[in-house]
Structures are given as C-alpha cells and as structure tokens.
Structure 1
C-alpha cells in the first residue's frame, strides 16, 4: 500500500494532537453518515471540525486515509453501543432485548443512515480494498459478539445438538444488515423488526424445552 495513503500513527501524537485527530475523525464520521463518503469533502470536514486545512493533512495524507479512520471509529462506536446487550446474548430474553435496543436506536435516528459500518463499507468496497477489509473486520467482531452468546447457550445444552451457533450468528448478523438496509430505504422499521423476529423465532425453535413428567395413572 503506498505510504501516502497512510494516516500518522496515533501513538506518535501528543495528547493535544490525538484529541485534534479524533475531533477530525468524529466530524468526518458524522458527515459521511449523513451524506456518504463521496459527498463529503475534506473542506467539509475541516469546517465541521473547526481546524485548518493544514491540520487535516497533518493527520491524514488524503481522503482515503480519513475514510479508513472513520470506518475504525464507526466500528468502535457501534460495538461500544452494542456491548451492554452483546454481553447477554446467551438467552432468548437477552436476544429479544438486543433486538428491541436496535429497533429503538433506528427510531432515534429517524430510520436514516442504515448501518454505520455497512453503509460506508459498501460505498467504498469496490474502490478501496483496505477500507473494505476494515469494514469486514468490524463485521467479524460484531458477529463474534453474537456467536459467543449462542455458544454459551449451546454449551449449557439450551440449544439442540443439531444447532450450529456459528451459522446462527452469521445468519443473525445478515438478517440485521438486510433489515437495516430496508429500514433506511423504506424509512420504516418493519423490515428490521420482521428480519430479526424471524431469525430469533428460528433460534427459539432450536432451544431444548424441558419435558414435563408424564402423569401417573390413577390407581
């Protein structure tokens, strides 16, 4: 990868420099979420972050480097927001609460923007292989959070032996992403609700239900 497309390593920055760099990334993330990467210029970012053009180029060699930093930023933000629910995805109740939190979040966003990782990743996937790989890594981390909960359910014997937690996690993430895309386009959360409910109903169908002891015959 050409050196000119690399952002300066954060470890080389002073505390003030790191804060300025983060402010630029946060401003770019908000603009790109609202308008897309293609319609966000470095001048837009400079104005939004309240920095000079030279400061932008001091921390980011070019727009590609900034886009990659934004993907990392969005990945961390999404996973941090999801963490309270991801830690409890080892039960049907926890999965339902996670589903409700995602739907509520889309209502707060007014059904705009889609997935913060997926929308930007899809936009640059065919033009910036490094950015695509960063988005793919973000999705793998998200999938891992879902998978760990399902694996715990499986290990406790709460899922049938035929259930594959890894496949279920991937399918759940795919349902989530498809639901978010349709929610963004249609400006309603029903596609997201139906996609997640269908997937969680499928997981529920694979749970092991305790068998009630047979009634003893009357004597």
Structure 2
C-alpha cells in the first residue's frame, strides 16, 4: 500500500490544502461505509468531495493510499471513543456502561455497516497485506485497552487474582466483533448486546464478591 505522503509534505499543507484533504477522506469514509471498499472508486470520491483529479492525486498517490487514510480516520475516532469509556472502568457496572454505549451507537443505524474497523478487515484482509497489518495494529491497541480495564478490576479487588486479563479481553473483543456482525446481518442490535453480555458474564464469574459467597 502506498503512503499518502511523508511528514515533511504533510507539514507543507496550507489550511486550504488540509481542508481539501480532510474533505476527501471524509467523503471516502462515508462511501466505503455505504457501498464497501471495492465498490468505491476514486471517481466516486472526487464527485462526493467536490474535488478535481489533480486535487485528489496531490494528496493520495492511489486508492491504496486513500484506503490507508480511511483506516486511520476510522481508528482515531473509534479508539478515542473506546478509550474514553474503558479508562473509566473500575467496576463490573463500568463494563456494562461501556457495552451500553457501543450498542446504543450501533442502534443509530439499526446495526448497519458493522464495526468501523472490522468491516474493512473483512473486505481487505485477504488481498491487502499492508492494509490488514495496519488494521491489526489498531485492533492490538483496542485489545490492550480491554486488557488494561480488566487488569484494573483485578488490581482493585473487583476480580480475583486468578482472572487472566488477556484471555478475558480477547473473549470480550471477539464477542464485540461477533455482535457487530450479527447486528449487521439481522439489523437487530439486541443480538450484539447478548453476545457481549455472555463475555461479560464470563468476566463476572471471576468476581471476588461472588467467590466469597460460595
């Protein structure tokens, strides 16, 4: 996958140029959500963003470079939202509030389009190695946020010492992705809630409170 430009060229952008680049990325992101990566052409993006061919190629050498920019655009928004929620988790109720926020956001489109990152991974992973690796780095970051949240619960004594944050976080992220897919297929976000609830129930099984009651 080609790069859209080095740091020096990015710094040379005028405010007008930066605004044009942002408009192209936002248009490409919306089109790729609605009709998929493969079906989105550079001509489509030019029309949707109101830019010329020369303007588009000034910022992106080819479609691969634009796809890379869209991945980064989505990751920045998604992971910022995840971080805001997960950094506040200090109880099992906090995990439920994190779940509620994701399900409610997904319900705004009745589950359509799925996970912003997962949907792109489904499209490009088998034929775009660079794109797959880029998405993988962002999934690693997301997974680490979940690991940190669960480890925090263990440190605070909410969970027992034998709870494995990495294993539980992998199960939780897998449930989120499966839930996104089920909601996308059925247009029913309740299925996403059920999938994530099962993973949270697994974490709850390590509750220090429940162990003292047995």
CA–CA separation in structure 2 for the residues paired with 1:164 and 1:12: 47
With normalisation by structure 1, the TM-score equals 0.90
For each residue in 1:112-162, what CA deviation from the matched residue of structure 2 results, as whole angstroms up to 9, or x when unmatched?
000010101221111111100111111111111111111111122221122
Structure 2: gaps of 5 or more residues:
none
Contact 1:147 1:166 (C-alpha < 8 Å) held by counterparts: yes
- Which residue of structure 1 aligns with residue 55 of structure 2? 55
Structure 1: gaps of 5 or more residues:
213-219
Contact 1:89 1:146 (C-alpha < 8 Å) held by counterparts: no
Whether 1:6 and 2:40 are equivalent positions in the alignment is: no
What are the residue-to-residue correspondences of 1:119-198 with 2, within 5 Å? 119-198=119-198
What are the residue-to-residue correspondences of 1:66-105 with 2, within 5 Å? 66-105=66-105
2:208 partner SS? coil
Shift of 1:64: 0.8
Contact 1:124 1:131 (C-alpha < 8 Å) held by counterparts: yes
* Runs of 4+ residues deviating >4 angstroms: none
For each residue in 1:135-190, what CA deviation from the matched residue of structure 2 results, as whole angstroms up to 9, or x when unmatched?
11111111111111111111222211221011111110111001101110111112
Aligned length: 209
- Which residue of structure 1 aligns with residue 35 of structure 2? 35
CA–CA separation in structure 2 for the residues paired with 1:74 and 1:94: 24
CA–CA separation in structure 1 for the residues paired with 2:134 and 2:12: 22
CA–CA separation in structure 2 for the residues paired with 1:78 and 1:109: 16
- Which residue of structure 2 aligns with residue 216 of structure 1? none
CA–CA separation in structure 1 for the residues paired with 2:39 and 2:23: 19
Contact 1:8 1:60 (C-alpha < 8 Å) held by counterparts: yes
CA–CA separation in structure 2 for the residues paired with 1:33 and 1:11: 29
What are the residue-to-residue correspondences of 1:14-33 with 2, within 5 Å? 14-33=14-33
- Cα RMSD of the aligned pairs, angstroms, is 1.5
Contact 1:114 1:184 (C-alpha < 8 Å) held by counterparts: yes
